């Protein structure tokens, strides 16, 4: 009887959902679940599995079993690992002891609706809106040589206090800057939690003669258990994923190593440098060159950003994938960024995105009908023609050189040294 009743109840429950309801449920629950598993859990599990292998990150055929060797290398042969781990622990402790209590205090004061609480709330939350990269740039201008702080201290560029390069300051400076943003975030979370606290609990505590501190400690704060859990999780995550702020202020080779920096250096194989910064700027300029005069300011910014990221992949991923001998990264920077810029010109030249559109020189006005898809296709054809033309002309030029003087020197000249064979003089004297 029980089984039959349960079966009947299940049948009725299924009948209560129409086919449209089941389709909607599948779309809004099933699809996000599948995407979450595919995009979050699968990569996470694959990452754990790959940590026990040797792999260059490009070809799957190069994956070799390593066992625990990677972990042994990290813990025993990577000296900077322990310094980086300690810095992340200090980050977590500082956030827990200093930043989080200040966020709770600010949230409580704003929740009491003190005079000007709306202004305070906006000011405290403003750093949260800004990215950590922007915050790093702001504080670098504020505390750097010739900045606002140095001016107040009466220090010029020639006698500025080395805040970002002195070990006495840099640790606490970076923690204070990170806390400036973290406090506003914590304040917002606790403020939302305080709004949900039952007012009768406060009234009961007041009637029982509890002071404001006693009411907060014994009544209000315990009722924020869910918020406390969220704050703990967020604080731990922030301490582990710290990267942006430290990278902007110190780079990867100086100042304050953290775990995020070690991951960055392991992926790209080198620290940040002025050469890399210059290459990034060049990539942005190459990307915007085809679009000059056709896109607006925001379109130019987006093209420069995407071109820089594409060039980074070109010199880091594509180069290894193709096995190309491009020591100066000419194609990785100029080629890849130029192709991306040419294609994106068709997108951001659209008048709806701030571009100038296609100018009709017969009518002496911009064409009224602009299609992003068709223009991108035109740009793609131009890129293809350019690639083919460059390949044909380069092939002919290489053949002419090969016939006249040869592309390679003899094995004997290569062993002797190209300085003598090609330039007629010795580069080194032993």
Q: Is 168 helix (H, G, I), strand (E, B) or coil?
A: coil
Q: Is the pLDDT score of 214 beyond 90? A: no
Domain spanning 76-263, CATH class: mainly alpha
Q: Mean per-residue pLDDT for 357-380?
A: 79
Q: Mean per-residue pLDDT for 242-267?
A: 69
What is the rounded distance in angstroms from the CA atom of residue 107 to the CA atom of residue 197? 13
Q: Is the pLDDT score of 83 beyond 70? A: yes
DSSP 8-state secondary structure symbol assigned to residue 368? S
Lowest mean pLDDT among 96-100, 407-411, 422-426: 422-426
Structure tokens at 161: 């206090």
- pLDDT of 277 reads 65
Q: Mean per-residue pLDDT for 141-149?
A: 77
Structure tokens at 322: 């193709």
For the purposes of burial, counting CB atoms within 10 Å of the CB of 245, is it exposed (0-12), middle (13-18) or buried (19 or more)? buried
- DSSP character string of 76-121: II-HHHHHHHHHHHHHHHHIIIIIHHHHHHHHHHHHTT-TTHHHHH
Structure tokens at 353: 């995105």
Confidence tier at 23 by pLDDT (50, 70, 90): confident
Contact predicate 163/146, CB 8 Å: no
Contact predicate 326/319, CB 8 Å: yes
- Give the closest residue to 244 by CA, choosing from 143, 76, 164, 130: 130
- pLDDT of 255 reads 58
pLDDT in tens, 177-190: 888 888 888 888 88
What is the rounded distance in angstroms from the CA atom of residue 79 to the CA atom of residue 86? 12
The C-alpha angle 196, 200, 206, rounded to 5 degrees, equals 120
Q: Is the pLDDT score of 389 beyond 90? A: yes
Q: Is the pLDDT score of 14 beyond 70? A: no
Residues 6 or more apart from 343 whose CB is under 8 A from it?
Answer: 376, 379, 380, 383
Characterize 304-333 residue by residue with b for buried, 16 or more Cβ atoms within 10 angstroms of its Cβ, and e for exposed.
Answer: bebbbebbbebbbebbeeeeeeeeebebbb
- pLDDT of 299 reads 84
High-pLDDT (> 70) share of the chain, %: 85
Residue-averaged pLDDT of the chain: 79
What is the rounded distance in angstroms from the CA atom of residue 307 to the CA atom of residue 285? 9
Relative to beta strand 64-65, strand 53-54 is antiparallel
- DSSP character string of 52-79: TEE--SS-GGG-EE-TTHHHHIIIII-H
DSSP 8-state secondary structure symbol assigned to residue 116? T
Structure tokens at 378: 């035109």
Separation of first and last alpha carbons in the chain: 100
Angle between helices 79-94 and 225-240 (to 10 degrees): 150
Q: Mean per-residue pLDDT for 148-173?
A: 74
Select the more confidently predicted residue: 413 or 430.
Answer: 413
- pLDDT of 396 reads 93
Contact predicate 133/242, CB 8 Å: no
Name the range with the highest mean pLDDT among 15-24, 271-280, 330-339.
330-339
- pLDDT of 356 reads 80
Q: Is the pLDDT score of 217 beyond 90? A: no
Residues carrying CATH 1.10.3720.10, the chain: 76-263
């Amino acid at each position: 009887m029980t089984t039959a009743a349960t079966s009947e109840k299940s049948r009725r429950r299924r009948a209560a959902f129409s086919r449209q309801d089941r389709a909607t449920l599948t779309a809004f629950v099933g699809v996000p679940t599948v995407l979450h598993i595919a995009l979050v859990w699968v990569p996470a599990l694959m990452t754990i599995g790959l940590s026990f292998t040797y792999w260059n990150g490009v070809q799957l055929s190069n994956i070799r079993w390593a066992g625990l060797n990677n972990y042994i290398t990290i813990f025993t042969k990577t000296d900077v690992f322990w310094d980086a781990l300690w810095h992340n622990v200090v980050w977590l402790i500082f956030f827990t002891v200093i930043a989080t209590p200040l966020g709770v205090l600010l949230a409580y004061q704003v929740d009491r609706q003190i005079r000007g609480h709306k202004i305070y709330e906006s000011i405290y939350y403003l750093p949260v809106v800004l990215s950590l990269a922007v915050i790093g740039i702001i504080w670098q201008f504020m505390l750097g040589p010739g900045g606002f702080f140095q001016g107040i201290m009466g220090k010029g560029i020639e006698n500025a206090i080395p805040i970002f390069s002195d070990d006495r300051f840099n640790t606490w400076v970076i923690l204070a800057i990170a806390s400036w943003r973290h406090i506003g975030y914590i304040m917002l979370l606790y403020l939302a939690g305080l709004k949900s606290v039952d007012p009768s609990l406060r009234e009961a505590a007041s009637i029982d003669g509890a002071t404001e501190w006693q009411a907060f400690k014994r009544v209000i704060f315990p009722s924020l258990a869910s918020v406390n859990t969220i704050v703990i999780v967020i604080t731990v995550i922030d301490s582990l994923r710290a990267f942006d702020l430290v990278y902007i202020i110190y780079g990867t080779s100086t100042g304050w190593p953290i775990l995020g920096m070690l991951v960055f250096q392991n992926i790209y194989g080198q620290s940040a440098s002025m050469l890399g910064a210059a290459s990034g700027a060049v990539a942005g300029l190459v990307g915007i060159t085809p679009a000059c005069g056709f896109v607006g300011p925001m379109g130019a910014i987006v093209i420069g950003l995407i071109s820089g990221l594409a060039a980074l992949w070109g010199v880091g991923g594509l180069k290894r994938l193709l096995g190309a001998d491009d020591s100066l990264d000419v194609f990785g920077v100029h080629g890849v960024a130029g192709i991306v810029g040419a294609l994106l010109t068709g997108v951001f030249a659209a008048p709806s995105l701030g571009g100038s559109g296609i100018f009709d020189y017969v009518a002496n006005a911009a064409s009224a009908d602009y299609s992003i898809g068709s223009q991108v296709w035109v740009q793609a054809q131009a890129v293809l023609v350019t690639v083919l033309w460059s390949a044909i002309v380069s092939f002919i030029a290489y053949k002419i050189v090969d016939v006249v003087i040869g592309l390679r020197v003899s094995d004997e000249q290569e062993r002797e040294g190209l300085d003598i064979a090609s330039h007629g003089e010795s580069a080194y004297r032993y």
